[in-house]
Amino acid sequence: MVHLKRSLFAIPTLGLGLALTAGLCPAPAAAETSAELQQQLDSVSEQLYSLYSAAEQAGNDLATVTSNLNDTKAQIEQTTADIAEEEAQLAAYQDELGELVSTQYKSGGSTSIVTLLLSSGSFTDLISNLHYADKAAQHKQGVITAARELKDSLEQNRQALEEQKSEQEKLVADQQVKTEAAQAAANEAQEYYNQLSDELKEQIAAEEEAARQAAEARAAELAAQQAAQQAAEQQEQQASGGDASGATDSGDTSTTTEEDTSSDTSDEVEQPSHDTGASDDDVDDTPAGGGSDVSPSGPTASASNLVARAQSVIGSGYSYTGYNWTGSTSSSWFTCSGLVDYALGLPSWSNSPESLYGKVAYITTDVSQLQYGDLVFFASGGRWCGHVGIYIGGGEMIDSIPGSGVGYRTLDYIGGFIGGGPIV
C-alpha cells in the first residue's frame, strides 16, 4: 500500500478545541438519572478523547518546528564559523600578494627588473623569470578572488538562514499558542468530565441508597403483614378447640412428612443433572486469541522486546505530552505514540502516529495478516491517522488512551482501523 503524505500543519488544532469545548459545558440537570448521566459521560468522553488527540498533535507539531529552528540555528553557527575562517584565509592571501607585489615592483619596478636581470644567466632566463613572476602574481590574485567569492557566498547563505530562522521563530511562537490553547481546552474538558463523573457516582450512590431504603421499608411491611397473619392463625386455632386441633396437628404432621419425603426424593433425582454437564472434551481449551494471527515461527526477538517494554508500563496514566517514565506506573504517563517511542527505546516526542505510519515496512488492512509486535493505526480525534497501538495477536493491542492510560484493548475498542505493519 502506498503511504499517503500529510501536511504537518493540516490539522486545525485550535479550531477543533474551541468547537468541542463550546459543546462541553452545559450543566447537567439536577433530576437526571444515573443512566442519563452515563449517556452524557460517554458523550463527553468521546469529545475529550478528540481534544486530547488534538493537544497531542499540537505538541508533536511544536516539537517539530522547535527542532527545525534549532537545526537552523546550528547551521547559522557553522556558517558564521566558516565565514570567519575564510576571512582569516583571505587576509593571509592578501598579505602574501602584497609581499609579492612589493618585491617585484618596488621603486616603480626598476629594482625588481634589475634583480631579475642580475639573477638571470641569459636573456631567455630573464624572460622566463619575468613570465613566472607575473604568473605567480596572477595566481595569487585568482586565489584571493576565489576566497572573496566564497566568503560572499557564505554571507548570502547566512542571511538566508537568518531569514529562515525568523520565519521559524514565528512558527514556533504561533504553534506554542495553538498548543497551549489545545491543552487548555483538553484540561477544561477533563475537569468537566471529572465533575460529571463525580455527579454520576453520587447519583448512583443516591439511587442505591434509595433502593436500599425502599427494600427495607418493603421488608418491614411484609414482616408486619406476616406477624399479623400469624397472630390471626393462632387466635383461630385457640377458638377451634383441643381435639380438632390435635387431629389437625396429626394431619399436618403427615402432610409435612410426605412433603419432606417428596422434596428429598426430588433433590436426589435432580442432583445427577448438575453432575452431568458438558464433558471435558466439549470444553474449549484454546488460549484467548488462539494465536492465529501470530507467525507460526513465533515473534522475532525485536518484536518481543517491543511488546515486553510496552507491557512493562501497563497501568501508567495518559498524557498528551509525549511520555515520562519514572520507574513506577503510578507516576508515569504516555501518549499513544509516546508508548511506541518508549517501546522502541526512543526519546519522548520522537514520533507522532502519522510519522510512525510512514516508518512501517508495509501496511495491511487485513487484521488476519497482522503479526505479533506490528503497529496498528486508527483514524481518531479528527485526524486521518490519530492513534497507534502495538498488536499482540488475537485482535488485541497495547495502547494508551485518555481516561484509562496504558492497557490491553481490542482493535475495535477505538474504531477507525486503517491498517498496520511491522516497524522492527
Question: pLDDT tens for residues 125-139?
Answer: 545 555 555 666 666
The count of other CB atoms within 10 Å of the CB of residue 359 is 12
Asked if residue 113 is part of any domain, the answer here is: yes
CATH number at residue 377: 3.90.1720.10
What pLDDT does residue 64 have? 82
Asked if residue 53 is part of any domain, the answer here is: yes
Asked if residue 233 is part of any domain, the answer here is: no
Last residue of a domain, one of 175, 208, 241: 208
For residues 188 and 317, state if they share a domain.
no
For residues 30 and 159, state if they share a domain.
yes
- Note whether 179 and 62 are within 8 A (CB): yes
Which of 60, 55, 61, 62 is CA-nearest to residue 338?
A: 60
Residue 248 backbone dihedrals phi, psi, to 5 degrees? -65, -40
Highest mean pLDDT: which range of 76-90, 194-208, 248-262, 325-339: 325-339
Asked if residue 215 is part of any domain, the answer here is: no
* Cβ-proximal residues to 350 (8 Å cutoff; 6+ apart), any chain: 341, 344
Model-level pTM? 0.53
Virtual torsion, Cα 140, 145, 151, 155, nearest 10 deg: 170
For residues 49 and 175, state if they share a domain.
yes
For residues 195 and 312, state if they share a domain.
no
- Note whether 342 and 324 are within 8 A (CB): no
Asked if residue 54 is part of any domain, the answer here is: yes
Number of domains in the chain: 2
What pLDDT does residue 155 have? 87
CATH number at residue 197: 1.10.287
Strand partners, 420: 364, 376
**Does 55 have pLDDT greater than 60?**
yes
pLDDT band at residue 273 under the 50/70/90 scheme: very low
- Note whether 354 and 64 are within 8 A (CB): no
For residues 197 and 305, state if they share a domain.
no
Q: How far is CA 77 from CA 103, 128, 374, in A?
A: 40, 47, 41
Last residue of a domain, one of 187, 208, 229: 208
Mean pLDDT value of segment 65-73: 89
Q: Where are the alpha helices (DSSP H) in 106-122?
A: 110-119
**Does 61 have pLDDT greater than 60?**
yes
Which of 305, 286, 285, 288 is CA-nearest to residue 372?
A: 305
Q: What angle do CA 239, 241, 243 make, to 5 degrees?
A: 155
Asked if residue 355 is part of any domain, the answer here is: yes
Question: For residues 76 and 154, what is the distance between their CA atoms, to the nearest angstrom?
Answer: 10
For residues 176 and 305, state if they share a domain.
no
For residues 202 and 306, state if they share a domain.
no
What pLDDT does residue 18 have? 42
Last residue of a domain, one of 208, 225, 245: 208
For residues 178 and 308, state if they share a domain.
no
Question: For residues 24 and 21, what is the distance between their CA atoms, to the nearest angstrom?
Answer: 5
- Note whether 371 and 422 are within 8 A (CB): yes
Q: What angle do CA 398, 403, 408 make, to 5 degrees?
A: 20
Asked if residue 8 is part of any domain, the answer here is: no
For residues 58 and 182, state if they share a domain.
yes
Virtual torsion, Cα 145, 149, 152, 154, nearest 10 deg: -130
**Does 320 have pLDDT greater than 70?**
yes
What pLDDT does residue 383 have? 82
For residues 179 and 310, state if they share a domain.
no
For residues 19 and 139, state if they share a domain.
yes
Asked if residue 20 is part of any domain, the answer here is: yes
For residues 164 and 28, state if they share a domain.
yes
Give the structural domain span for 383: 301-421
What pLDDT does residue 73 have? 93
